[in-house]
Structure 1
Amino acid sequence: MPFSLHSHSGQFCRHAKGSLDDIALSAIDKQFSLFGFSEHAPRYRRQDLYPEESDMNPQDTSTVFSEYVIEAHKLKNVYKTQIELLVGLETDYITDIDLDNTRLLIHNYSDSDNPIEYLVGSVHHVLETPIDFDSETFYKALQKAGSRQALYVEYYTRLLHLVKTLEPEVIGHIDLIRLYEPHINLCEYEEAWKLIDAIVKHAAQYGGLIEINAAAIRKGWPTPYPASDILYLVKTHGARLTLSDDTHTPENVGLNYWRVFEYLKSHDIRDLYYLQRCEKSAPGAMSCGRTVVKKYDGVWSKDNFWKTCNPSWR
């Protein structure tokens, strides 16, 4: 304790800053015991590249990803006496090409000396339009959908399909769809709410971790993702929660964890879970076959980390 299973670096993600080494050193400095690297999976169509990648082509993103995996495993060995580092990826679901190639990517690395150890399953697009790039693009997606109900149904239909297809170790920022409208109460949208319920139930069934993602706070939310309505569902269905900072700079590591602490305590969250590396396909291994889920041993809120978790990290 503490830990984070979702992160990005400027070395391998153009909308982030700092090297992967910088991220690892920041986690060590802030006394993290476990930290997961999860750079973005490659994109497979030119139209799915972000504006900052306008000089790239899809093959370039595959090359960058390969370089990332090598560097991440190198750092894993360099810092093995100071911190446990896990090497994962964050996938998207824009079209079925993404899911098919994510499965192939994990398979291709499975017998490598540098395996993909876990998967963060996320959706960042609706109707092939980014919903978290900026507010203007989000409202373009809303206009394409025709209504908020249709937008939410499309988002959660895709996330449910991703979760059932890949059964990711971690489900990323489950209510990212309301990033620019945090006041929205999703349970007022019945069709979408049924899909959210199905996602949480399936996560509980296969043991996937739903992240409490602190990045929402640095983006202006009063709480991390997910907000209280979905957190209630998580508790109701007995799904497992984990922590992430979704860092995009070394300074983001652990950012607002002190507020995450207050949020979880206010909702009487008693158990937190994390991933631990295992031998390939060991008993209990998750989707990628390289990690098992572990429950924090003891009372998580009494961990010594919370005594030194520094609000100046804001």
Structure 2
Amino acid sequence: MDVWFDSGSSWAGVVDETEGLELPADLYLEGSDQHRGWFQSSLLTCVAATGMAPYKAVLTHGFVLDERGHKMSKSLGNVVDPKDVIEGGKDQKKQPGLGADVLRLWVASVDYTSDVMIGGFILSQIADSYRKIRGTLRFLVGNLHDFNPETDAVPYEELPLTDRYILASLADLLRESSAAYDSFQFYRVYQAAMRFSVSELSNFYLDMAKDRLYIRGAASAERRACQTVMRHLLEGLAAAIAPLTPHMAEDVWQALPYARGPAESVFLAGWKQAPAAWAALGEADRRAVGAM
């Protein structure tokens, strides 16, 4: 009997033994070497037995190589152990633990349809990206300590142009992230989140907002408008990155300085919905803010 018959008929065992499952599966996921292996044998056995394919879609990925593009091997000493990345190696000074979120962010940052590389230098760059996003989120949380959305929120129509511009950018992020997740293009979410967090927020909007946050009166309309927007930015960015960096996103949700409603977790809150008005900001207004 062909060894592929056993693995190729796994669909039968999984469906029969798991309550609530039925054919076809949403997705079969494996390496690029399985097109003539598990994918094909699963298709042949299921079509023969049921007249239908066992999956709705197939997703393939490349292989993980070291930083020089070489295949990992114990004899070469170039194996990167995920546990060491998360928890750190034997010498914590030379190889400190980076946490699960950094490893997940590396996975999200690469185009897995081809072979991908990993190593100390690459991980240090991803860790730096992680810290930039976390720093942005920390700034947002810290400046909402005296904000109550129920009593202090400013209507969208009364927000200054820069505030409406950044909400339009948030709507763009949410729309792009949703489309990228749906098509399994996680690197697009990573790139969009980094661009939004660093370029749009840290380098532009939050830098401009400091005068309103620190100089204007605590309950002034200007400061409350800024806080109104920052609340949406915080929740929107946390939602966008939650599938990639769940620990950081959940940290944010648990640290919200205002009542977060019935959802006890960011993963129970649902996707952040951007009102149509946010995305409807005219191109002329966008260019005007971009020229500032």
Q: Choose between structure 1 and 2: higher strand proportion.
A: 1
Higher Rg of the two aligned structures: 2
TM surpasses 0.5: no
- Structure 2-normalised TM-score? 0.29
Q: Choose between structure 1 and 2: higher helix proportion.
A: 2
